[in-house]
Structure 1
């Protein structure tokens, strides 16, 4: 296990403000930018930029995603009811990250509520959290 990478993932990285809106306004923000899309409000989150080789990056981009995911330790609300309040979630790879708080995957828009962090690490480190 890469302990230095895990320590960086848990405590390092760049601080990001996230969404400071009330929950109802955050839901409205999703509706404005991503009408009709399922959403999940999360807190205590980390945007994880995965270190990939140029070859891996080509494969990822060909799949219509970016080598980025979100680890969130607290689900506030999931519009599809997949995750209960208080559970954790790790997203699939992202499609876009806009407004400093809307992380889109192919299936869901995750609203990053409150402050969080952005870290760059290897996939094995990112997957070692849970």
Structure 2
């Protein structure tokens, strides 16, 4: 049942973001994670863990975002093999444009279906599961 709800909500968010902003949900998630990170940057390995993508899947997604000017790659000063993904100003603007659509989708597909007590219970359950997305 939980999986069905997740799939339904995810499909709705994906469709809304694509129609309104030509931005897939996975791309939105990457931009959001970078926006919330210190200096708007994360090492690629850390970013892959936060967005639940394989390193190769993230690499392909970052390639597309970089081509669109939404993300840049920067070398890691203390690790010659390490790379950072960095949110660009254009990426931050695109995220700001898409966020109301994303939040509206979360509200209409999830929050509006729950009462105040339900939301408190969900918050409590999620806290117990520690699914914050942080490593």
- The interval holding the TM-score normalised by the smaller chain is under 0.3
Instruction: Please give the TM-score of this superposition, normalised by the length of structure 1.
Output: 0.28
Compare the two structures and name the one with the higher strand fraction: 1
Whose radius of gyration is greater, 1 or 2?
2
Instruction: Please give the TM-score of this superposition, normalised by the length of structure 2.
Output: 0.27
Compare the two structures and name the one with the higher helix fraction: 2
